[in-house]
A and B are shown apart, each in its own frame.
Chain A
């Protein structure tokens, strides 16, 4: 199993982040978990047919989002990137519109939950087909370089499962050939639905593949938002300044089943998950903030209350919105009205 031992930091390494930025990271983590839980709750209540969880990815995503420059960088995420998406500017309401598949959702209620797209936020549209978005991210990075838009870079994310796809390899290779402004960030949660890392790859350290492509590779503790921020911000800065692509691997763990339609107890034990939960990045970062005096217990409690309130409000508001209509099915197949026969 790929592993860098998770080390609970005794002291805070800020990596240049202010108190406010640290609190923002923590809030993003709390909000991700709250919205994530809400999707599952709504599914169990029979209100939505499907939800995808991201528990265990909070530190990685909030840390990476902090390294993203809004209005400049481009994010090409995958379907487990709820925290990253809110971290770069999607609102809880937008997340809930996606979960409820309402007409005002960016995708018009067409895609599964968590398949966001937002030009405003610089978040590229993607499908459920793993690795299909990686060449898109590379194409976008090519466009940035071609237009000589220095100071901008693409952040493309994926799980460990995606690194087995041919398009992943092709994209890494092309990006390295052209020294494109892109960061490949693997959120290694060690499961491809039911298939463990040991059955996915012979070399469990994904970052080591970087050398084969001719780009820097780095692995870090994906349960540590600050280690994540450190690695991602350095790689993004290198990309923005013409230093080419990087492959980063944040090691985390998928605490939930793949989705609401999956039962992970058919392929792993509760004990294993419970053991990994001891490293849960959310309480871990909370303790660090408390111990270092950046937040006190009252402030943490107030933030949690605020996040719950915001989630409730977004849930109620989105739920009250209308579904797309049957007529909407026919829109946006091509530009303008359309018939296959002319």
Chain B
């Protein structure tokens, strides 16, 4: 259980995002926030509640419902020297902005040979397990992680949320910042006071172990830790790596762990085909095949468009600590 100290606070993930945005707005008047319902409503999860009262409607911009231009206008702001933080209300609504993210933001620096840049953050809640049905529960990281020019961050602990959001806001290039909505209020943790940065692209070993490496990100890191702790009681030692960023990805951390445990299980909420796990598997196969004692395994969602609204459909799509524990046992015993 996290405990507040004289130099830290216990926050949940909503509070961590909120505190970080608040400090960024205080520190730099080039920072503006734009998105649907971010002003008067203070964001549908109340992340920006009352910001508009303190910072005004010019900095906390309630936009029309128009995702392509939310991102596109942020691109123009960034090209013209502001530090926009665009919000897509749910990751499921990001598709209309795909062109602006992939075709424009990610290529601005490249296509102008470095003359124009696009320092901006696109924040969006993603992920399931909240009865979000087809259009309030998707994972979108695999759609974007193929794209050079973008950075993609997926933190799961409040302290990481703050450090990585600070890094994203400071970053000279566009960053897609994915926040798992089920962790928003579920996950609490100690968050250091003051400004600090966690470098984008650095994973974190959340639990050390010797018999199996589990690589995950988002909500599933928490479930993987629950499963790994259960296995600890059964005498099995599982290492859990939280990627925190999926573009760039931390090859060193993955390889170092895999060379120690000699087994790799990748767990993600997104479906398996062409997912983050595929890239990690390929990288490990290229770099460390002969260090492995078991085939690489991926535990991921089935190849269906999304989880359904009805509880059995959601449960069938989502993994669980129990399913993860089963996969871990199989791998350790292999």
Q: Interface on A for B, CB 8 Å cutoff?
A: 74, 76, 105-108, 110-111, 115, 117-119, 124-125, 127, 129, 132, 134-144, 146, 166-167, 170-171, 173-174, 177, 331-335, 339-342
Q: A124-B116, A135-B100, A166-B96 are in contact. Are A146 and B82 (CB under 8 A)?
A: yes
Does B113 reach chain A (CB closer than 8 Å)? yes
| B204-252 CB contacts (< 8 Å) to partner A | 247-252
Does B78 reach chain A (CB closer than 8 Å)? yes
- Render B110-146 as a binary contact track against A, CB cut-off 8 A, 1 for contact: 1111111100000000000000000000000000000
Q: A125-B116, A127-B103, A136-B104 are in contact. Are A171 and B109 (CB under 8 A)?
A: no
| B30-72 CB contacts (< 8 Å) to partner A | 32, 58-59, 63-64, 66, 68-69, 71-72
Q: Select which of A143, A333, A339 is within 8 A of B77 by beta carbon.
A: A143
Q: Are A332 and B109 in contact (CB under 8 A)?
A: yes
The chain B residue sitting closest to A178, CB to CB, is B61
The chain A residue sitting closest to B173, CB to CB, is A334
Does B180 reach chain A (CB closer than 8 Å)? no
Q: Are A132 and B80 in contact (CB under 8 A)?
A: no
Does B81 reach chain A (CB closer than 8 Å)? yes
The chain B residue sitting closest to A128, CB to CB, is B103
Q: Interface on B for A, CB 8 Å cutoff?
A: 32, 58-59, 63-64, 66, 68-69, 71-82, 84, 96, 99-100, 103-104, 107-117, 148-149, 151, 172-173, 201-202, 247-252, 283
Q: Are B73 and A174 in contact (CB under 8 A)?
A: yes
Specify which chain A residues have a CB less than 8 angstroms from the CB of B96 in the assembled complex.
166
Q: How far is the CB of B280 from chain A (nearest CB, A)?
A: 10
Return 6 A-B CB contacts under 8 Å, by A number: A106-B115, A127-B104, A135-B69, A167-B99, A170-B72, A335-B173
Given contacts A127-B107, A137-B76, A334-B151, 20 further A-B contacts (CB under 8 A): A76-B76, A106-B113, A107-B112, A107-B113, A110-B113, A125-B111, A127-B103, A127-B104, A132-B103, A135-B73, A135-B75, A136-B76, A138-B69, A139-B76, A140-B80, A171-B69, A171-B72, A334-B149, A335-B172, A340-B249
Q: Are B114 and A118 in contact (CB under 8 A)?
A: no
CA distance A239 to B251 in the complex (A): 51
Q: Are A166 and B248 in contact (CB under 8 A)?
A: no
CA distance A340 to B282 in the complex (A): 14
Which 10 A-B pairs have CB atoms at the shortest separation, nearest pair first? A139-B76, A135-B72, A108-B113, A136-B76, A170-B69, A341-B251, A125-B112, A143-B80, A342-B201, A139-B77
Specify which chain B residues have a CB less than 8 angstroms from the CB of A138 in the assembled complex.
69, 72-73, 76
Q: Are A119 and B116 in contact (CB under 8 A)?
A: yes
Q: Select which of B73, B77, B111 is within 8 A of A110 by beta carbon.
A: B111
Q: Are B69 and A332 in contact (CB under 8 A)?
A: no
Q: Are B110 and A110 in contact (CB under 8 A)?
A: yes
CA distance A112 to B79 in the complex (A): 21
Specify which chain A residues have a CB less than 8 angstroms from the CB of B149 in the assembled complex.
333-334
The chain A residue sitting closest to B65, CB to CB, is A170
Q: Select which of B76, B104, B201 is within 8 A of A142 by beta carbon.
A: B76
Q: Are A129 and B63 in contact (CB under 8 A)?
A: no
Specify which chain A residues have a CB less than 8 angstroms from the CB of B63 in the assembled complex.
174
CA distance A174 to B77 in the complex (A): 13
Q: Are A142 and B111 in contact (CB under 8 A)?
A: no
Specify which chain A residues have a CB less than 8 angstroms from the CB of B68 in the assembled complex.
135, 166-167, 170
Q: A119-B116, A167-B72, A170-B68 are in contact. Are A342 and B249 (CB under 8 A)?
A: yes
Q: A341-B248, A341-B251 are in contact. Are A143 and B75 (CB under 8 A)?
A: no
CA distance A135 to B104 in the complex (A): 11
Q: Select which of A115, A139, A166 is within 8 A of B79 by beta carbon.
A: A139
Most buried by A among B63, B75, B76: B76
Q: A106-B112, A125-B115 are in contact. Are A171 and B73 (CB under 8 A)?
A: yes
CA distance A119 to B109 in the complex (A): 13
CA distance A170 to B117 in the complex (A): 23
Specify which chain A residues have a CB less than 8 angstroms from the CB of B75 in the assembled complex.
135-136, 139
Q: How far is the CB of B56 from chain A (nearest CB, A)?
A: 10
Specify which chain A residues have a CB less than 8 angstroms from the CB of B148 in the assembled complex.
333, 340
CA distance A332 to B106 in the complex (A): 11
Q: A135-B68, A170-B69 are in contact. Are A143 and B76 (CB under 8 A)?
A: yes
Specify which chain B residues have a CB less than 8 angstroms from the CB of A107 in the assembled complex.
111-113
CA distance A339 to B249 in the complex (A): 9
Q: How far is the CB of B147 from chain A (nearest CB, A)?
A: 10
CA distance A137 to B103 in the complex (A): 16
Specify which chain A residues have a CB less than 8 angstroms from the CB of B71 in the assembled complex.
135
The chain B residue sitting closest to A136, CB to CB, is B76
Q: Are B32 and A146 in contact (CB under 8 A)?
A: yes
Q: How far is the CB of B251 from chain A (nearest CB, A)?
A: 4
Q: How far is the CB of B284 from chain A (nearest CB, A)?
A: 11
CA distance A334 to B110 in the complex (A): 8
CA distance A235 to B58 in the complex (A): 24
Specify which chain A residues have a CB less than 8 angstroms from the CB of B116 in the assembled complex.
117, 119, 124-125
CA distance A174 to B64 in the complex (A): 7
